[in-house]
Amino acid sequence: MPGFPRLRDTYDVVILGGGHAGLAAALKAGLLGHTALLIDRGPKYSRSYYAPKLDNIPGFPEGVSGHKLLDLQIAALRQVEPSVTYVTPATATGVVRLPSGEYEVAFDWLARRHGVRGRAAVLALGVVDRMPVIGGKIDPIFPWANFGIVDFCILCDGHTLPDRTVAVLGHDAFAARTALDLLHFRPKSVELLTLGRALLEGSSHEERNELAGRLAEKGIGHVDTEVVGFDEIRAKRFGVKFADGSRRTYDKGFSALGWYDQHGAIPRSLGCRIDDEGFVVTDEDCRALADEDGRPIPGLYCVGDLRNGWNQIPEAWATAERAIIHAYAYYL
């Protein structure tokens, strides 16, 4: 589309975040005859952008990359312009619920701060994975992640692990539980690489005893030497170099380091309830619930990974669909 899109003062729906959930929400809003503004930092910030092969997407029996799927969703969104406006790269910086019930959204776009109003707002900001830090940098892991040699999500990639040797990156209870959970997929072996930290450091005495016992029982060992680099990308293997000069090699790696950012600042500022794991709590229609009284905050929806721990693209789509249909039927 030539030129830059023109902004309105007010939209029926303002959607913050244009990954799989936000793009689906914007498309549905357009198809239902609403005006919508979709504000996105850019597809490369979507969790799936670097995922080489998604195997659970209906219509793609051979799998599809996250990048390609985002492109297809963006192409679909172009069909509902101009009632839907897509601004990217743009960063939402704050949201205020006005006495009128509308949402005032501030965002940075084209080197300027902008403000628009929405009768409803959809939070689709996703979450950001914590990456292993090697020599002070996070990029050493990227080539292995891009080839799908190092995975980040059991639900997405557990099925690729049977008969493979697997290194799980992480030292805490979450990493230990992930290593145990991976056994469901019958890998040949699982080993924890604690990246120089003590195994189960930070866990209570009881938790450490329980998890250490289960790891030993299942034959899951650990290496607590610091990791200084990765290797063997050409052989499509996960080679690991340790600070003491030793090396190990695995068929696959699995990063179990949790979240770097769960994008809680905007939901918290709006009074949303956040669960113990850091996800926004909603009802079945994806209405954000108020921390104060557990009731839905009128006109405020939360979809995709930001909302719960399922973290799957079909779930992002389903929650987006649900939120927009609810807004259409009951609110707009």
Ligand X SMILES: Cc1cc2nc3c(=O)[nH]c(=O)nc-3n(C[C@H](O)[C@H](O)[C@H](O)COP(=O)(O)OP(=O)(O)OC[C@H]3O[C@@H](n4cnc5c(N)ncnc54)[C@H](O)[C@@H]3O)c2cc1C
Contact positions vs ligand X (CB under 6 A): 16-22, 39-43, 45-48, 51, 54-56, 66, 91-92, 124-126, 129, 152-153, 156, 263, 304-306, 311-314, 316
Peptide bond between residue 58 and the one before it cis (omega within 30 degrees of 0): no
- Residue number with CB closer to ligand X (19 or 239): 19
Alpha helices in the chain, H assignment, sequence order: 20-31, 66-78, 142-146, 154-157, 173-182, 205-217, 265-269, 313-326
- Residue number with CB closer to ligand X (28 or 41): 41
- 290-293-294 Cα angle (round to 5): 55
Q: Which two tokens stand for residue 142?
A: 């990227």
β-strand 150-151 against 259-261: which pairing, if any?
Answer: unpaired
Q: Which two tokens stand for residue 165?
A: 């040797």
Shortest gap between Cβ of 40 and ligand X (angstroms)? 5
Q: Which two tokens stand for residue 113?
A: 């701060």
Shortest gap between Cβ of 44 and ligand X (angstroms)? 8
- Residue number with CB closer to ligand X (43 or 132): 43
- Residue number with CB closer to ligand X (19 or 299): 19
Determine the residue type at 194.
Answer: T
Shortest gap between Cβ of 303 and ligand X (angstroms)? 7
Peptide bond between residue 89 and the one before it cis (omega within 30 degrees of 0): yes
Shortest gap between Cβ of 107 and ligand X (angstroms)? 7
Shortest gap between Cβ of 226 and ligand X (angstroms)? 24
- Residue number with CB closer to ligand X (55 or 71): 55
Residue closest to ligand X, measured at CB: 19
- Residue number with CB closer to ligand X (76 or 153): 153
Determine the residue type at 52.
Answer: P
Shortest gap between Cβ of 52 and ligand X (angstroms)? 8
Burial of 285 (0-12, 13-18, 19+ CB in 10 A): middle
- Residue number with CB closer to ligand X (23 or 199): 23
Helix axes 66-78, 20-31, angle to 10 degrees: 20
Shortest gap between Cβ of 49 and ligand X (angstroms)? 8
Determine the residue type at 310.
Answer: W
